[in-house]
Structure 1
Amino acid sequence: MHALQGRVQADVAYSELGAHLRELYARGTPIIALCAAGIVIRCVAPLLSNKGAEPPVLAVAEDGSAVVPLLGGLAGVNVMARDIAAALGVSPAITTSGELRFGTCVLNPPEGYALADPGQGKRFVSDLLAGESTRVEGDAPWLDDAQLPRSASARLAIRVTPHAWNGREDELVIHPRSVVAAVALGEASEIVARVRASLQAHGLAPLSLAALVASSEDMAHAALAEAAASLNVPLRFVEPRSADDRSSASLPHKLLNAALRIPYETLNDDHAQGVALALSPLAIDPHTIGRARGRLTVIGLGPGSADLMVPAARDALDEATDILGYETYVKMAGPLRADQRVHATDNREEMQRARHAFELASEGRSVVMVSSGDPGVFAMAAAVLEALDASDNNAWAAVELSIVPGVSAALATAAQAGAPLGHDFCMLSLSDNLKPWSIIENRLRHAAQADLVMAFYNPISRARPWQLDKALDIVREYRAADTPVVLGRDIGRPGGTLRTVTLAELHSADVDMRTMVIVGSSTTRRFSKGAQWVYTPRWYQ
């Protein structure tokens, strides 16, 4: 649920509807808008350019009396409209002529099939609406219940075939994704060229390609992922059955034998080309072939507010099969889908959590490790890398690891206060759980001597109530009593507070574990104009 900030409580808040809708639309996000259809149309109109690539967009009346599909006719918008309308007990306002006449959208084949030419498809459907009849050639069970005007002798034909369309205007060609290409390792451009040449040699359409298959030993090679992306197909990996297979010139054929559990036809025998094709009589679900390369993404939620989470972190969460993290942070990462597996743990189980993430990802799953703030600032990114560094597990090394930055607590607090981090600064954790207090004292002293602005993480806890006061005693040896200190508690979360005091006024009773403490330098200033601001100039006198 997305809603206007300050008006409706929702999972994601926005401040301006038009900009927010356009961002969602540009990212390909299906949109169900509870508002007037005209508002939605005006908001996304500047982005309308490619009918074949637009996501479903619907408008639903506030009282549930109307469901209006607006965009995404080739992305299943009418199917969504019918499902929503059925749940609401109303009729969907479907206006697509072909679907109203025939009971289905001929130009929107189900998953596993692709329309050869949407432009030709529109002309074909126009001919049917004008009174022509058609015949269906090939396996198209989703058309069995369609009210198409059929005739065995019809001039027009719907052909379901993996072979390339020859441009005939009396045919609507739909390609089943029934071809699998197994490849040996090489440069991405070479792999793509070989696959396309092989498809062309057999008269097969590129859209009939269901997946690219490679050896699991080559999983970490970026060229394979690049080639699969260029061919716009999933990349799957299988284990060669023997050591001889790994070095054999016939490796692609061996990979097909290991990957496919259904009847198929091998289309080429030229092993030297580093590619082999298999043709199935039916569309192939690529998820049944081998496994994907596992992915582990370490993300930061930001300080807690959904609008301060970077879009890449939200995308990673949306794509994840498994989500790990400290239970509090996992709850903050919602909303999550019912099919996503959540592995929430205690905050002190970081290394165990990191190892578990690699185990899941090495099985081919898409895993997200959740941190608060920025994952690389006193958070899980370092633990994940430490676990990988200490491991000799080749399967872990093959996992696609990425780290998505987030808005740290120090940056979020500084932004609300103004710009106290406007010049050189450092971040220090006052927790001695993972390092001796003597090291903390030494670093505090050097940072204070260097006149750095200091941001204190983990400033105090029940187990160590004395450490903040000890840290402040050290800082006061080098800073004036009127040095500004910013205290941000739960910034970005409900009930967050921001205060600015002086170093002389600050006491440990003012701070808890959820407080960010930013101690200014000798040049940090505090003033009031409209609001109270704190900043550190970018210059020194």
Structure 2
Amino acid sequence: MTQTTPALICLSTGGYQLAQELAQTMGDVEIHGLKKRLPDCAIAFDNTIDHVRSLFRKGQPIIGICASGILIRALAPLLADKWAEPPVVAVAEDASCAVPLLGGHHGANELARWIADILEGAAAITTAGELNFGVALDEPPRGWRIANPDYAKDVAAALLNHDPVSLEVEAGEAVWLEEKGLSFEDVGFPRIRISDRDVEPDGNELLFHPPVLALGVGCERNCPADHLIEHALATLASAGLSRQSIGCVVSVDVKANEAAVHALADVLGVPARFFTPEELEAQTPRLKNPSDVVFDEVGCHGVAEGAALAAVGGLGELVVEKQKTDKATCAIGRSPVDLQPVALGRAQGYLSVIGIGPGSDEWRSPQATQALREATDVVGYGLYLDLVEDLIVGKDRHESGLANEEKRARIALDLAAEGKRVCLVCSGDAGIYALATLAFELLDKENKPEWNRLRIDVAPGISALQACAARIGAPINHDFCTISLSDLLTPWEDIQRRLKAAADGDFVVAFYNPRSKRRVTQIEKARDILLTGRPAETPVVLGRNLGRATESLEVITLGELTSDHADMLTMVLVGSSQSRVIERGVNKWVYTPRGYEKKMKVQS
């Protein structure tokens, strides 16, 4: 899968500082650093050549703050298809220039110019078309498609040679060509043809499809995706319109969580956008097939036609009126100018509740990292947001105090309901004593329509329990449980009952929230309950600030455990009666046997 977030490759401290400066302005980028020189970089790598090749194979744009030769030597063996390869730009460490090495017409020239503007340097553009015209025929504006990209070089060559080239505009506008002062003939070959029709280019024309069509759709709840896709494509085909000119799929907001609508948008490679019933009702005078039945159901007299018309605006027109099956409807509107989906209606809101782990970047899951990169807004306790600061540069940041969990969850849900892509950030694992359950509890109890339409996922993280266990050995390799000693939300009587059950069951026990300024004695009461079911010599692991610079790890016995051993940043891991301590010189490990000794053959 192609990854569109550029990777800034740094090999030195100077390169890292330049990358940080670029990231402040560019926003949605990743900083990758050579581990032996930049060990604290968010994404670190050991081998530059291997890492650059890996990014290139994934289709990720590469901005190397290094010598051009390094990137050329790394990527030369991989070069095969210029249409499929990601852009690659080399940036001088002194910020003097940005050089597009690969994919000049597919984003590299644009990246180089952007970087040069930020750094007040020069963009070393060498592609002939852009040097002469300031435009690349095989890199049209966003949303445009080329039916026959291989023919672009022939047309560009003709223009460079001052041969006559004609321009035929059947749909949309050709402003991006005309504003460059290019001279075109009225008729003749070769020619540039701009059309939203489903036609095959002849041998002497470069055919562009502009994003001027809005595909309005409606469907019954849980409509099969294949049914809607087949109906939409058939509607386009019968009208002789090209799917390549679809700029967006549009519908009413009650369909924002309809899987079939999103599947159709994915097939067409365009965004899905949604309008309120009130916005669609405003289109009623322009509808060809208004329906009182639809109005009674969703509050507007037409979904497919209304959405198509709302998308193309007052100067647009309905070119295909509602086409209906037993499960779905389609209609198509045409705009006189390029559609800009981001300005139409709103996207389906997306809330990702993520756990960033105990604090170390290497313990953060790729899913959580990707969610942070793609977010428009991040919500969380300020300290947790600071831990991922390099990933959220340029994003809207919403933070609140440690005790304001419900406020944070509500903010995240409401922002997502506005069509934004939101990350609700938790430490550790979002589903273990964190905010995932609160988000779903609010969703359950309040049943707000705008929340119910959201796409919500939970990105798991490494819990402090797992981090502590991994640091010390394998203490939770058999049955274990976790118990929070905080009685803010759970009555102390319930906590005591669970402690007694853990003692009776001889579980390894992880204590979350072991102590606060207000709660001092609970940990000692918990110790006494566990001592009813295991010996005082049972090992206890104390892990504090795990994964951070101030991390500490200590092993004591259950009999020694007091409230002075813990605070809210401490993970207390109490072994079972079977847990063991191994000491070998300076090394100390704790593990809990699973029963392998019954089939072990110990060799002396």
TM-score of the aligned structures, taking structure 1 as reference length: 0.91
3-state secondary structure, aligned to 1:373: coil
Residue among 136, 159, 171 paired with 2:205: 171
1:154-206 per-residue CA deviation (whole Å, 9 max, x = no partner) reads: 52112222223423232112221000111121321121122222222233221
**Residue in 2 that maps onto 1:410:** 465
- Matches for 1:46-195 after TM superposition, within 5 Å: 51-125=82-156, 132-138=163-169, 139-144=173-178, 146=180, 150-152=184-186, 155-185=189-219, 186-195=223-232
1:72-106 per-residue CA deviation (whole Å, 9 max, x = no partner) reads: 33432112212323444544333434333443322
Is the alpha carbon distance of 1:23 and 1:532 closer, same or farther for their aligned partners in structure 2, counting shifts above 3 Å?
Answer: farther
1:198-217 per-residue CA deviation (whole Å, 9 max, x = no partner) reads: 22223322111011112222
Aligned equivalents of 1:477 and 1:439: distance in 2?
A: 18
Of the structure 1 ranges 209-218 and 366-375, higher mean CA displacement relative to structure 2 is found in: 209-218
**Structure 1: stretches of 5+ with no match in the other structure:** none
**Residue in 1 that maps onto 2:38:** 8
- The Cα shift of 1:511 comes to 2.0
- The Cα shift of 1:68 comes to 2.3
- The Cα shift of 1:140 comes to 2.1
Aligned equivalents of 1:46 and 1:371: distance in 2?
A: 42
**Residue in 1 that maps onto 2:429:** 374
1:304-353 per-residue CA deviation (whole Å, 9 max, x = no partner) reads: 12222112212222222221111211222323556522210112121222
3-state secondary structure, aligned to 1:267: strand
- The Cα shift of 1:10 comes to 5.2
**Equivalent position amino acid for 1:189 in 2:** D
Of the structure 1 ranges 315-324 and 531-540, higher mean CA displacement relative to structure 2 is found in: 531-540
- The Cα shift of 1:464 comes to 1.1
Is the alpha carbon distance of 1:348 and 1:506 closer, same or farther for their aligned partners in structure 2, counting shifts above 3 Å?
Answer: same
- The Cα shift of 1:116 comes to 2.2
Of the structure 1 ranges 468-477 and 152-161, higher mean CA displacement relative to structure 2 is found in: 152-161
1:367-402 per-residue CA deviation (whole Å, 9 max, x = no partner) reads: 211111110000000110111111132221111111
Answering whether residue 589 of structure 2 is matched by residue 533 of structure 1, we say: yes
**Residue in 1 that maps onto 2:390:** 335
**Residue in 1 that maps onto 2:545:** 490
1:224-275 per-residue CA deviation (whole Å, 9 max, x = no partner) reads: 1122112211111223456643469964223334444332222223543521
- The Cα shift of 1:59 comes to 1.8
Answering whether residue 394 of structure 2 is matched by residue 345 of structure 1, we say: no
- The Cα shift of 1:296 comes to 1.3
Aligned equivalents of 1:419 and 1:129: distance in 2?
A: 69
- The Cα shift of 1:112 comes to 3.1
**Equivalent position amino acid for 1:98 in 2:** G
**Equivalent position amino acid for 1:62 in 2:** E
**Structure 1 contact 35–59 (Cα < 8 Å) conserved:** yes
Answering whether residue 481 of structure 2 is matched by residue 429 of structure 1, we say: no
3-state secondary structure, aligned to 2:320: coil
Of the structure 1 ranges 463-472 and 521-530, higher mean CA displacement relative to structure 2 is found in: 521-530
Of the structure 1 ranges 386-395 and 473-482, higher mean CA displacement relative to structure 2 is found in: 473-482
- Matches for 1:191-340 after TM superposition, within 5 Å: 191-241=228-278, 244-246=293-295, 251-269=303-321, 271-273=323-325, 274-335=329-390, 339-340=394-395
Of the structure 1 ranges 489-498 and 379-388, higher mean CA displacement relative to structure 2 is found in: 489-498
**Equivalent position amino acid for 1:183 in 2:** V
3-state secondary structure, aligned to 1:269: strand
Aligned equivalents of 2:364 and 2:104: distance in 1?
A: 31
Aligned equivalents of 1:457 and 1:444: distance in 2?
A: 13
**Structure 1 contact 162–204 (Cα < 8 Å) conserved:** yes
1:137-167 per-residue CA deviation (whole Å, 9 max, x = no partner) reads: 3322222354757555652112222223423
Aligned equivalents of 1:43 and 1:455: distance in 2?
A: 47
Of the structure 1 ranges 117-126 and 17-26, higher mean CA displacement relative to structure 2 is found in: 17-26
**Structure 2 contact 357–364 (Cα < 8 Å) conserved:** yes
**Equivalent position amino acid for 2:239 in 1:** H
**Residue in 2 that maps onto 1:450:** 505
Is the alpha carbon distance of 1:90 and 1:389 closer, same or farther for their aligned partners in structure 2, counting shifts above 3 Å?
Answer: closer
Aligned equivalents of 1:318 and 1:174: distance in 2?
A: 32
Is the alpha carbon distance of 1:39 and 1:413 closer, same or farther for their aligned partners in structure 2, counting shifts above 3 Å?
Answer: farther
Aligned equivalents of 1:46 and 1:466: distance in 2?
A: 65
Is the alpha carbon distance of 1:164 and 1:74 closer, same or farther for their aligned partners in structure 2, counting shifts above 3 Å?
Answer: farther
**Residue in 1 that maps onto 2:579:** 524
Of the structure 1 ranges 211-220 and 235-244, higher mean CA displacement relative to structure 2 is found in: 235-244
Is the alpha carbon distance of 1:44 and 1:406 closer, same or farther for their aligned partners in structure 2, counting shifts above 3 Å?
Answer: farther
3-state secondary structure, aligned to 1:439: helix
Aligned equivalents of 1:520 and 1:410: distance in 2?
A: 12
Aligned equivalents of 1:340 and 1:56: distance in 2?
A: 24
Aligned equivalents of 2:71 and 2:591: distance in 1?
A: 41
Aligned equivalents of 1:45 and 1:249: distance in 2?
A: 58
Of the structure 1 ranges 367-376 and 9-18, higher mean CA displacement relative to structure 2 is found in: 9-18
1:448-468 per-residue CA deviation (whole Å, 9 max, x = no partner) reads: 221211111111111112221
**Equivalent position amino acid for 1:199 in 2:** L
**Structure 1 contact 295–364 (Cα < 8 Å) conserved:** yes
**Residue in 1 that maps onto 2:8:** none
**Structure 2 contact 542–572 (Cα < 8 Å) conserved:** yes
Aligned equivalents of 1:452 and 1:22: distance in 2?
A: 47
3-state secondary structure, aligned to 1:184: strand
Aligned equivalents of 1:50 and 1:251: distance in 2?
A: 42
**Equivalent position amino acid for 1:14 in 2:** A
Task: Provide the aligned length of Structure 1 versus Structure 2.
Answer: 541
**Equivalent position amino acid for 2:590 in 1:** V
Aligned equivalents of 2:152 and 2:561: distance in 1?
A: 72
Is the alpha carbon distance of 1:485 and 1:372 closer, same or farther for their aligned partners in structure 2, counting shifts above 3 Å?
Answer: same
**Equivalent position amino acid for 1:166 in 2:** E
Percent identical:
40
RMSD: 2.8
**Structure 2 contact 42–390 (Cα < 8 Å) conserved:** no
3-state secondary structure, aligned to 1:268: strand
- Matches for 1:383-422 after TM superposition, within 5 Å: 383-422=438-477
Is the alpha carbon distance of 1:539 and 1:15 closer, same or farther for their aligned partners in structure 2, counting shifts above 3 Å?
Answer: farther
- The Cα shift of 1:403 comes to 1.0
Answering whether residue 394 of structure 2 is matched by residue 357 of structure 1, we say: no
Of the structure 1 ranges 303-312 and 151-160, higher mean CA displacement relative to structure 2 is found in: 151-160
TM-score of the aligned structures, taking structure 2 as reference length: 0.82
Of the structure 1 ranges 455-464 and 57-66, higher mean CA displacement relative to structure 2 is found in: 57-66
Aligned equivalents of 1:174 and 1:449: distance in 2?
A: 73
